[in-house]
Structure 1
């Protein structure tokens, strides 16, 4: 029995951690689980446009909720939804008033306010501090907005933001799952700055905390410790997009005034709970002085107005100085009952960093074994009943005791039935979890592609009581079949391992439009080289180059010779390079921003640099580290040889080299406006509103011109049989005149680490930009670059506001790649960007054609895009 009770407790604990990637169930606006009485509003135009009609995909009444009167920009009219309990809200879906083609009112923008108690309201902001979300472009299509960070709340208010039309109407659905943790707020010292020598500054603050700040302490709110995102092993790397190093962690230094040897944290819950354990995700990068806590002591308060109980729970951690991986530390809390906890976490080194804290508790006390009690016969004249433990029953009293015995037996049988049911249920849950990735793809996410206004729609099954989750990128239920196999570099071995790839993929790789169709028994070498001169070597490890950035793939014959005479770039005196800033780094090399003194005069009249009055010029310098291996040195010289061959207005230029002595360097152009991703993400589409408020903006013509320039540069690379393998907006740089030059620095920069998927430490791959054959077969060609170009176009026309396939985790992107291979109509495409003309999105779809020969060439793409700019 004790074994079964332990099993029940372990199953319960497994449900305690929220994973935002799975917590995406409709909360009941559309299906009616949220009652009309729970939907209120600040006002309504008529009874037929009351808040009860604000249900997604419903057109009862007059079709939606509409606030009263013509709204002004200063108005704060709202639609309020009571979810009935604390909820982890991850997605908001909105529609306008269509009313069977008789309405045309919708909210172009809106804000969110939320409250956990109905009294104190907070304003939601995204991770970059923006509070306004884009709404609808028409009255009928639904728009899905992911909440980054998610909201933990019971009450949600949607507040239309008026910029253009004063008339708005809304229909709404909210997505998420129950917040069973029950945590209302946590308090802690503010996070601190870490300045490790030779590394970027890490800001370890809680940037999404929604409570108060006073005397360097956080109080009364929730933030990054409850957003479901666990930090990486290297705390300088982040899972988020466009954030700073250390973003995922809240961290403190041992000798600061706020800590003094330990960190005190307080946790307030929605009600009194019986706590079984606390899970703390902690960093353990001991090479930088960071370790998990050495011990923790927790005190308990049964009620908020009561005092702290005298007896704490203490737990000593087993420290690990061999494995630097971040991990969850589970602290047993011995089923102590409390509404509030105060815990002291003691340092084991200079720094301590947390990314997630969760609690497991029992809502109902589990039954315990009790002795069987029977009643002895009553004596005449004795009015008292004396219960005694008996081993035999007197025949004269057997009739009276029979109901009691039957009741005890029935109770035991029921307990056994319950235990058997729980075991079977656990087995069923395990089977369901094994099928989780496919179920998510097949049932939960659908994409409409019919017009520019179509967006990603979520279709969800009924909400289960809870969803088993785990920390990101460690979910054991995802089978990373394709990328983590040690034989990945040998496509033939991969096809042998995966029977479904053995025939169809062989035909695709060997025939594929680049070899003769009747060649179906070729070897892997023939598959990549026969009749296909623009196929590149499939060396995945060297995909990232020496500095961590992409090294162009070229036919093998072009890099066989490595003599100095093969490098056309001139030797520049290294003492004339003044280092200003590190831009990025890889395993054996670094990229620096430098001033090159006298470079203009050194290059002479044929210099590609613009005329400048100053004697120094800003340049980007790739430098090989002193501890680099001989293989890395050879690869670096290969990269220099490749770069020295490139000469096109839309390709980054190699200006000169420093290879006469160590450290080896290559000097390239530096673009003042940075990369295209950062440039576009900081701008809005040009309008009267952006002009009036001096908001940085770009026009549709600018976006088309950028697209043409990228296609022109890629046409040049394709003409040389070069395969880039990492084409994306992060690798497109802009100068002062907004001329785009394609580069390869993106992979070396921490800012874009979340764009790459690491394969067991061997390589990192930009899987969200890669064609299906590149992921499944290790096949990189000009056609796979065309696929990446289509994704790059999608980035441009979304103004780089989100990652491609942002609704999917990395594992789900890989699973979706398998759907492209199977070609059964289940694959998920990127949605149509609102700014994108239909003809241009059709061009993107052609770039993502499953059949490799059907994809356009870069020359064809350039010819198709060029007329748009001329017009």
Structure 2
């Protein structure tokens, strides 16, 4: 029991050390002023009024000309000009933002392109490049809009330079912000042998550290790379988190035949002497292909010039059952060091790592872990020895506190279980009592939600909130609005099994979102429709033939659910297999790109029945704007179904890649764009989505997750509705998880779906209005991007109360007023019965094209 508790404590400590790029997106102080003027410098300045200190994003304090502008004419090479920010300590930087010069509305200078350099020590400068080797970042197109760019891969640095790329005769100006979080690991560099190449079934698999920023040779030195980029490799090392990268990209790995001593030696160098508690290593364990986690690791420590003689050795328990990749926690025994040398011994033919993180105690941090005030670094208290180890009594106190916390958590779990039993007893309560309860709960939150539509949008519909407010985390005094949902009986039921959501009361079961479930058959009180739906479940479709499994080549994992996965695959000979009657029109390519949904072999009987039921339903969906089921593989386990996948990917990414050269904001001045971004083509896409939804609604199907991420784009702007977007990492931020319950795309959901659990065709109409808004804004931002998830839920409460305080999405710049008022806003009416049908939506959109 004590041994298990020790492992638990090590694992808990290790979790705190792992940086999460999706959460590590805080502004680091250019906008808010935490970074002081003395920490901002530049290679040159056009004048005193355009000095480096004025290069702060969204800064308009009346001083200077509102931006940093270099003296470009003084340099023959424009790459020498830079704006430098000193963060005073190492930070994990995931995002950058840029603006041009405002100059009280008179400025028109901005950087169209720029590059980034960074340094961890101020001496060695490195140039950032993306995962495909590109260095130049697309910047601004005007002087006022904020352009945010994700850094993939992220960078770990103390010093960052923004370097405009332009004709040296042209004046450019920049305002910037950095987003990320403090790099608590303190790791400055690691040294490893260069990764090896595997040949698996005739396929080349490369395990090199492709983003390493140090010296590249037989051994990589003085840099950081994929082991610290925050991206964890998948269970199958042939699949990657980044689309279109080569197999094995997420892992760094070695073959034991190249290491006579049987181990790989990795050296980690840190910013200063630290007291190390633990290390965790993310390892692949696909032993069916000769890959296992390390058999043993021995770590040596160094605080000065010599390695200490007494190492720490750890042997993980071998796992011969699960092939899942996982983090392996290694206790480092509170050892003090500024460098660690670890020897990882092979457990099989191959050893693959994708991430390494460290947890070090506070004894060596002194005040450096405290939040930085006004940009100044912490100082060591006189007389303290930074190499002093934590006292054993402190360790005992820590263990005692953790045991107390575990006891408190167990008490909370008991209370939660008791509350669930109590909530189930309320399921038969009348709707009126429910509404009264909800009204009282929402009234209690009135002061916490004081936003107005007029304060969020200017007269032309553009958002007036700053970038800082959109990205900065929620204030600490905010109440948890998800309690509104937990209070409702509809959300008290477990969602561990698949159940259809009711279209009448919303109380028959919590909504469940299956990761690749295209549509869900809905129950209804209409006897005739029920008879039609029951007929869909009967029998099998003779047109669904068995496709040979060996002709499928897996390319990328698109999604992962509780009982299965969705993969992007190449199907060799699919066109010939389908024949002329079922072939995919306009697509003669071989192999054909398809999506394959798989059911895990260990899935239970209910999941298996649901999978076969979905095959029967999808085999009967035949519409030009609905993704088709092409074939199945059900002769043996695991069960697979094969559906269409369009060559241009999902609509969200397709629109993000478009660039409108001239935005026509008046109906009479719609102009054709060179890159296909015209208003008519955008409305044409919406027409196709409305047509597909019209077909689904005619069969009484409710989609429940309509959005651009779930629409696929083919040739000639063909759009087909699917449901592959939910569990892709790219769209993880579009879903809000209620602990132990549903995962909800709340920014696309109607108020009654969020608060009452009611999913109807009218709620799909609401989601279509949001999808149309996405299309006309080219998916430049999330819906309600100025609101946090909690505020979005609170806004649905305002729809419920109907006191005129609810916030609507603003009119897109290129959307005609009539379309916004007559169609979009009608999709978001409080009364679901007053929303238009998909037949009416399709007709109105067709008329707007005429």
Instruction: Report if TM-score (shorter chain) is over 0.5.
Output: yes
Give the 3-state SS of the residue equivalent to 1:558 in structure 2.
helix
1:80 to 72, 84, 88: 84
1:717 to 692, 696, 700: 696
Q: How does 1:637-716 map to 2 (within 5 A)?
A: 638-639=613-614, 641-643=616-618, 645-653=620-628, 671-677=646-652, 679-680=654-655, 684-685=659-660, 698-716=677-695
Give the 3-state SS of the residue equivalent to 2:105 in structure 1.
coil
2:534 maps to what in 1? 560
Deviates more, 1:788-797 or 1:259-268: 788-797
Q: How does 1:328-343 map to 2 (within 5 A)?
A: 328-343=327-342
List per-residue Cα deviations over 1:50-106 (Å, max 9, x = no partner).
Answer: 112223323312222112257999732321112222223334343332233333333
Contact 2:651–2:709 (8 Å) recurs in 1: yes
Q: How does 1:568-647 map to 2 (within 5 A)?
A: 571=543, 579-582=551-554, 587=563, 593-596=571-574, 603=581, 610=585, 635=610, 638-639=613-614, 641-643=616-618, 645-647=620-622
Change in 2 beyond 3 A, CA 1:557/1:276:
same
Change in 2 beyond 3 A, CA 1:66/1:266:
same
Measure the CA separation in 1 of the matches of 2:812 and 2:364: 52
2:93 maps to what in 1? 89
Change in 2 beyond 3 A, CA 1:562/1:16:
closer
2:295 maps to what in 1? 294
Change in 2 beyond 3 A, CA 1:18/1:834:
farther
Change in 2 beyond 3 A, CA 1:103/1:645:
same
Measure the CA separation in 2 of the matches of 1:454 and 1:203: 47
Measure the CA separation in 2 of the matches of 1:48 and 1:334: 55
List per-residue Cα deviations over 1:299-357 (Å, max 9, x = no partner).
Answer: 23434xx3444443333334455676655444344454433322111233444443432
Give the 3-state SS of the residue equivalent to 1:187 in structure 2.
strand
Measure the CA separation in 2 of the matches of 1:869 and 1:823: 34
Measure the CA separation in 2 of the matches of 1:241 and 1:841: 36
List per-residue Cα deviations over 1:148-191 (Å, max 9, x = no partner).
Answer: 44321111111234499944322233333433432111122344
Give the 3-state SS of the residue equivalent to 2:625 in structure 1.
coil
Measure the CA separation in 2 of the matches of 1:729 and 1:822: 25
Measure the CA separation in 2 of the matches of 1:196 and 1:759: 41
2:344 maps to what in 1? 345
Measure the CA separation in 1 of the matches of 2:345 and 2:657: 41
Contact 1:452–1:836 (8 Å) recurs in 2: no
2:6 maps to what in 1? none
2:384 maps to what in 1? none
Change in 2 beyond 3 A, CA 1:291/1:133:
same
Deviates more, 1:17-26 or 1:92-101: 17-26
Distance apart, 1:763 and its partner CA: 9.0
Change in 2 beyond 3 A, CA 1:582/1:746:
farther
| Structure 2 stretches lacking a partner, 5+ long | 1-8, 367-392, 413-444, 524-529, 664-672
Measure the CA separation in 1 of the matches of 2:575 and 2:180: 57
Contact 2:14–2:279 (8 Å) recurs in 1: no
2:62 maps to what in 1? 59
Contact 1:710–1:742 (8 Å) recurs in 2: yes
Contact 1:41–1:78 (8 Å) recurs in 2: yes
Q: How does 1:204-603 map to 2 (within 5 A)?
A: 205-215=208-218, 217-230=219-232, 242=243, 249-257=250-258, 261-283=262-284, 290-303=291-304, 306-319=305-318, 328-361=327-360, 364=363, 448-450=456-458, 451-452=461-462, 457-459=467-469, 492=489, 494=491, 528-530=502-504, 543=514, 548-555=516-523, 556-561=530-535, 571=543, 579-582=551-554, 587=563, 593-596=571-574, 603=581
1:410 maps to what in 2? none
TM-score norm. by structure 2 comes to 0.68
Deviates more, 1:714-723 or 1:73-82: 73-82
Change in 2 beyond 3 A, CA 1:339/1:455:
same
Distance apart, 1:729 and its partner CA: 3.6
2:759 maps to what in 1? 780
1:740 maps to what in 2? 719
Give the 3-state SS of the residue equivalent to 2:502 in structure 1.
helix
Check if 1:858 corresponds to 2:838: yes
Measure the CA separation in 2 of the matches of 1:337 and 1:25: 31
Report how many residues are paired: 738
Contact 1:110–1:158 (8 Å) recurs in 2: yes
Measure the CA separation in 1 of the matches of 2:553 and 2:300: 48
Measure the CA separation in 1 of the matches of 2:779 and 2:689: 16
Contact 2:14–2:280 (8 Å) recurs in 1: no
Give the 3-state SS of the residue equivalent to 1:783 in structure 2.
helix
Contact 1:195–1:202 (8 Å) recurs in 2: yes
Distance apart, 1:23 and its partner CA: 4.1
Return the index of the structure with the highest Cα Rg. 1
Contact 2:97–2:146 (8 Å) recurs in 1: yes
Contact 2:206–2:249 (8 Å) recurs in 1: no
The CA RMSD over aligned residues, in Å, is 6.0
Measure the CA separation in 2 of the matches of 1:802 and 1:89: 20
Distance apart, 1:252 and its partner CA: 2.2
List per-residue Cα deviations over 1:244-287 (Å, max 9, x = no partner).
Answer: 59879534255352696322211122234444443334455667
Give the 3-state SS of the residue equivalent to 2:518 in structure 1.
coil
Measure the CA separation in 1 of the matches of 2:160 and 2:698: 55
2:387 maps to what in 1? none
Measure the CA separation in 2 of the matches of 1:236 and 1:261: 25
Measure the CA separation in 2 of the matches of 1:356 and 1:311: 26
Change in 2 beyond 3 A, CA 1:867/1:292:
same
1:34 maps to what in 2? 35
Change in 2 beyond 3 A, CA 1:759/1:234:
farther
Give the 3-state SS of the residue equivalent to 1:714 in structure 2.
helix
Contact 2:570–2:592 (8 Å) recurs in 1: no
2:380 maps to what in 1? none
Check if 1:110 corresponds to 2:114: yes
Measure the CA separation in 1 of the matches of 2:661 and 2:144: 25
Distance apart, 1:837 and its partner CA: 7.6
Distance apart, 1:205 and its partner CA: 4.7
Measure the CA separation in 1 of the matches of 2:650 and 2:200: 26
Change in 2 beyond 3 A, CA 1:539/1:73:
farther
Change in 2 beyond 3 A, CA 1:461/1:95:
closer
